[in-house]
Structure 1
Amino acid sequence: MTKVEDAKTNWTICGECQGRGKKSRRLTNKMRLRYQAALDQFEKTKEGTMPVRPRGRLYSCLNCRGSGLLRSVDRPIADKENYPHIAIVGGGVGGVALAVACLHRGIPFTLYEYDSHFYARSQGYGLTLQQASKAIEGFGVCSLKEGVISTRHIVHTTEGKVIGEWGLRKWTQSGIKTAPKRSNVHIARQSLRLALLEQLGGHDAVQWGHQFVDFKESEDEGIVLSFKVGGEMKSAKADLLVGADGIRSSVRRILIGEDITPLRYLGCIVILGICPLCTLEDLNSSLLDSATVFQTANGNERIYMMPYTSDSVMWQLSFPMPEQEAKALSARGTQALKEEACRRTQWHDPIPQVIAATPEAKISGYPVYDREILESELLKKSGQVTLIGDAAHPMSPFKGQGANQALLDALALARGILKGCQSSPWRKIGVRESVLTEFESEMLERSAIKVKDSADAAQFLHSKIVLHEGDQPRGRCLKGECPTDEIEFR
C-alpha cells in the first residue's frame, strides 16, 4: 500500500486474502501423506488423540501488501442481509477502530459514545504503537502525519549515568547486521483517534452523548440496548453488542459483574505531563531531539520521557504509594500533582526543567489498576455480547500495550465476523458460535502475556532491577535475555 496522506480514500477488502492480509500456502504432498497416515493409524487403533490437520504456512498477501485492503472508487455499502448489526459501546481508540474495520467490510454498525463530543474530555496522553504500527494499515491509515518515530532509547541513573542504550541509532553505529527493522511510532491518543474517525467520514459517524445503561437479549429482537441521552431514556437494537468502553466498562459490569474480576491496584501512581519544547529554548539537550526516548530511575521513582509531537514531549513519572494516598493525591488536582513531581525529580538535566515548564493544564495523575486475566468461560455464556480492549484485558501503562492490543482486537473481530458469518448460518446458530468463541479464545491468549508482563513491570520498574546495566529493555534484564528480533521500548 502506497503511504500517502489521504483520509478521504475509500477502501474495500482484498478479494485474494478476504481482508486478512495473509494467505495460506498449500500443504506439500509430504505433509498431506504424513497426516493421512497418522489419521489412518488413529482410526484403526483408536489410541491416543486424533491428529489435527496441518495448516499451510501463512505469508503476506502480495495483492494488498499485507494490509487486507484495496483502494475503492466507492464507499462500501453495509450488507444488512448477510452480516449482523454491531452496536459498539465506547468511542475510544478500540471502538473507533472496530467501526472502521467493519466499514471496510460492509458490516453494519452503530458507534455509541458517552462524551457529548470529541473534545469533551482531556485525553492528551501519548501512545507507543508497537505491533500495531504495521496493523494500522489494516484500517486504511497509510501514514500518521502526527506520529513521531524514535530511534534511540536510553536508561539513566538519577545522576545522569547511562546504564543502558538501544535502538536503531546504536545498532547502526555498532554495525549490527541482525538489528530489527521495525520501529516504534509515538503519537497523541487524540491524533490516532482522529485519524481513525476520518476513515468513518468524521465526527458525525458517532452517536455522541449516549450513556450506556443496560441491555437485554431477546430471541425475537436480538439485543435491546438502553441509553440515557439528554436526560431521557432511549433504546436501540442490534444483533451483536461489543463493549469497548474501557477499564471501568459498564458492558463488562453488567455482563460479568464487578465482584468476579474487580479492579486490582498495582501499588503505584502515575503522573503524566506534556511539555512544549518551545518553553525550553535555552536548554540544549540531545535527549530532547524528538527522536529519543529515555527513562531515569532510582529503584523507587521512575520517569519515562518520549516524543509526543515533533515539538513537544510527554513524561510519565511513577512511584509506589498506598492506594488511598494515591487516590487522595490524584483528587487534589494538577497543582498538587506538579508539586509532587517536582519534589521527587531533582535529577539530571533536562528532567527538572521539563517538569517545571509543563503547564498545569497539561498534567494529570491516577492510581494504576488492572484486572485478573479474563477466563474465556466467563464469556461463553454471554450470548451475543463480547468485549475488546481495556474492557476485556486492562493492563498497566508500563509496557505500552493497551492501545496496541485494542487495535489488534478490533481488526481480529471484524475479520472474524466477515469469515464466520460468510461460512455459517449465523442467524440460526448465533454470532457466538459463528464468531465470538473463536475470536475470544485468540484474543485472550494473545493479550494474557501482555497483561502479566505489564503487571510485572509495575513492580520491577520501581525496584533495583531497573538499575541493572545492560543495553536492553529492563524487562529483558529481569529475564536474562537480550533479543535482537523484537523492539520493546519500555
Structure 2
Amino acid sequence: MIAIVGGGIGGLAAAAFLHRAGLPVTVYEQAGQLKEVGAGVVVAPNAARLLRRLGVMDELLSRCVRLEVGWEFRRWRDGTVLSAEDLESSCERLYGEHTYTAHRADLLEVIRRAVPDEAIRLGKRCVDVVTRADRPVLRFDDGEVAEADVVVGADGVHSAIRGALAPAVPAAYSGICAFRALVPAEQAPPFARRRAQTLWIGPGHHLVHYPISAGKFVNLVAFAPAGDYSVESWTATATVEEFLAEFDGWDARLVDLIRSAGTPGRWALLDRAPLPRWTYGTVTLLGDAAHPMFPFFAQGAAQAIEDAAVLARCLAVDPADPADALRRYEELRIPRTSRIQQVSHARSHVNHLPDGPQQRARDGALAKDDPLVANGWIYGYDPEAEL
C-alpha cells in the first residue's frame, strides 16, 4: 500500500495517477475537509496535458478561463504595454494544449474526483514517520499508527515527513512578501476582466492579475518588500489599506482594482535552496515538500502534478522494488524542479528593477523576447513521454 501524507493538489494528483496505474493508495489529510486556500493558479500546457490524461480536463474547462493573452507586461506608472504574448493562436500550436487559469479550489476538486472516496482519510495529522523492519510507519496525532510499503510526503512547505527524514535547514529571509486577493468581476474594470494574464512591474514591486472561476472573479497576487514581516502562512491576512500603500503612485486603474478587493492574504516568501535528496528508502517527497519555489513562473502546482505523474509511472514499472523506483523518480525530477526553482528565484530581481538604465534595457528585451518559445523547456515537457 502507498500512503500519501497531504491532500492538496500534489497529494491528490499522486493518488489519482497511482489509482490510474492500478496501485493501492491511501491519502491522509490533516484537515477535516478537502479545501485549498489561496485563490488563482495558472494551468500551463505541461499541467493541462497531464490533467487531460487523468480525465478531469473537461470538468475543469467548465470552471476555468482559457487565456487569450499571457506574459502581458505593463509599466507600473502608466500601464504602457511592454510586451504581450498571443496565447490563443500560439499555445496549442506549439505545445498541444492551451493555458488556463483557475481557482485552486476548483482544480483540487476536479482532481479529487479521480480518487476513490474510500482512499481519502480526513482529520489525520501525521507527526512522524519511522522505519520498522524496512517498512515505513506513520504516526498520527490521535495515536493511530499506519504501516505502508511506500510513503509520499506531499504535506507542503512545512512538511512533517521532510522534517523526519532530513536535517532541518532554516529558510533564508528573501525580503519579499506577497499579497493575494479576489475581486468580483462586476466590480473589476474591463481591462482586468479580459482573458489575459497581466504583470505590472515597477521598482521593488510587481502585481499579476487574471480572471478565474469561469470569469466570475479577478485574481490578484502582488509582491512587495517584506520589511520585518516573516509570517509564511496562506491563512494570514492584511488590510486593503496595507495593500494599497505598497502601490501608492502606480497607475490609477491598478489602484482602483486593488481598492475593490476583499480582505487580502499576505505571506512572506522564504528562500530555500533546492534539496539534493528527496528519497530515503521507501519514503519520498513531492510538490512543495520537495521543492518549494517562488511563484514567479507560476509553476508550483504544475510541478507537483508532474511529480505525481512520474512517481506513479516509476512505481508502476517497478512495483517489486519500490526503493529503486523512488530513486528513479528522484533522479528524473530533481534536475528539472531545481532549475525551475532557480529561474523563479532570479525573476524577482528582473521584475523589481528601479527606473533607470537597467530597467530600460529590460523593457527593451521584453519587447523583443518570445517567452512562450523561450520557456518551451517548461511547457513542452511531457514526463510520461520522457519515461
Corresponding residue for residue 150 of structure 2: 240
Structure 1 CA distance for aligned equivalents of residues 365 and 66 of structure 2: 20
How far the C-alpha of 1:470 sits from its partner, in A, is 4.6
C-alpha spacing 1:91/1:328, structure 2 compared with 1 (3 Å): closer
Q: CA RMSD in A?
A: 2.8
Q: CA deviation at 1:160?
A: 1.7
1:155 matches 2:60: no
Q: Which structure carries more helix by proportion?
A: 2
Residues 1:194 and 2:84 aligned together: no
The one-letter amino acid of 1:264's match is A
1:118 paired with 2:34, answer yes
Greater relative contact order (CA < 8 Å, ≥ 6 in sequence): 2
**Structure 1 contact 149–185 (Cα < 8 Å) conserved:** yes
Secondary structure of the residue aligned to 2:315 is helix
Structure 1 pair 383/482, CA: closer, same or farther in 2 (3 Å)? closer
Contact 1:274–1:312 (8 Å) recurs in 2:
yes
Residue 223 and residue 409 in structure 1: after superposition, are their counterparts in 2 closer, same or farther (change >3 A)? same
Aligned partner (choices 368, 384, 396) of residue 269 of structure 2: 368
Residue identity in the other structure for 1:215: V
SS of equivalent residue, structure 1 residue 214: strand
Residues 107/191 of structure 1: CA separation in 2 closer, same or farther (3 Å cut): same
- Alpha-carbon shift at residue 226 of structure 1 (Å): 0.6
Q: Which TM-score applies when normalising by structure 2? A: 0.86
Indicate yes or no: 2:262 matched with 1:344: no
Q: Give the structure 1 partner of residue 211 of structure 2.
A: 307
Match of 1:252 in 2: 162
* 2:340 is the counterpart of 1:450: yes
Partner AA of 1:159 in structure 2: D
Distance 1:211 1:152 in 2: 41
Equivalent residue, structure 2, for 1:224: 137
Aligned match for 2:260, one of 357, 368, 371: 357
The structural deviation recorded for 1:193 is 0.6
Find 2:122's aligned residue among 208, 221, 232.
208
Native 8 Å contact 2:67 2:100 kept in 1:
yes
Amino acid of the structure 2 residue aligned with 1:343: A
Per-residue CA shift, 1:363-391, capped at 9, x if unaligned? 20100024211113x63xx2110001111
* Pairs aligned (count): 367
- 1:326 is paired with a residue whose SS is coil
2:17 is matched with which residue?
101
Task: Check conservation: 1:320, 1:462, Cα contact below 8 A.
Answer: no
After superposition, give the CA deviation of every residue in 1:58-88 in whole Å (9 maximum; x if it has no partner): xxxxxxxxxxxxxxxxxxxxxxxxxxx1010
**Alignment of structure 1 residues 18-57 onto 2, 5 Å:** none
Gaps of 5+ in 1: 1-84
**CA displacement at 1:94 relative to structure 2:** 0.5
Percent of residue pairs bearing the same amino acid type: 25
Secondary structure in 1 matching 2:79: coil
Which residue matches 1:316?
221
- 3-state secondary structure, aligned to 1:317: strand
Aligned pairs for 1:407-446 within 5 A: 407-421=305-319, 425-426=320-321, 431-433=322-324, 435-446=325-336
Contact 2:73 2:84 in 1 (8 A): yes
3-state DSSP of counterpart to 1:484: helix
Kindly state the Cα deviation for residue 124 of structure 1 after the two structures are TM-superposed.
Answer: 3.1
| Alignment counterpart, residue 394 of structure 1, candidates 277, 285, 292 | 292
Kindly state the Cα deviation for residue 486 of structure 1 after the two structures are TM-superposed: 4.2
SS in 1 for 2:126: strand
Does the Cα contact within 8 Å between 1:163 and 1:471 map onto a contact in 2? no
Distance (Å, rounded) in 2 between the aligned partners of 1:400 and 1:244: 19
Q: Tell me the CA shift for residue 330 of structure 1.
A: 8.2
Residue of structure 1 in register with 2:171 after alignment: 263
**Matched residues in 1 for 2:48 and 2:222: separation?**
25
Deviation at 1:299, TM superposition (A): 2.2
One-letter amino acid of the counterpart of residue 340, structure 1:
E
Cα distance in 2, alignment partners of residues 241 and 99 from structure 1: 12
Paired position in structure 1 for 2:373: 484
- Conserved in 1, the CA contact under 8 Å of 2:127 and 2:139? yes
Provide the C-alpha distance between the structure 1 equivalents of 2:37 and 2:20, rounded to a whole number of angstroms.
27
Equivalent position amino acid for 2:208 in 1: Y
1:14 maps to none
Supply the distance in 1 between the matched residues of 2:38 and 2:231 (Cα, whole angstroms): 22
* 1:376-431 deviations in Å (ceiling 9; x for gaps): 3x63xx2110001111111011111110110000010001111012xxx43xxxx2
- The 3 A distance-change label for structure 1 pair 109 and 463 is same
Unpaired runs of 5+ in structure 2? Answer: 380-387
Instruction: Say if 1:105 and 1:339 are closer, same or farther in 2 by CA, change over 3 A.
Output: same
How far off its partner does 1:279 sit? Answer: 2.5
The 8 Å contact of residues 5 and 28 in structure 2, kept in 1 or not, is answered as yes
Letter in 1 for 2:158: R
- SS of aligned partner of 1:183: coil
Q: Compare CA radii of gyration and give the structure with the larger one.
A: 1
Contact 2:235 2:265 in 1 (8 A): no
Q: Distance in 2 between matches of 1:331 and 1:451?
A: 20
Counterpart of 1:200 in 2: which secondary structure?
A: coil
Q: Distance in 2 between matches of 1:88 and 1:179?
A: 34
Structure 1 residue 236 displacement after superposition: 0.8
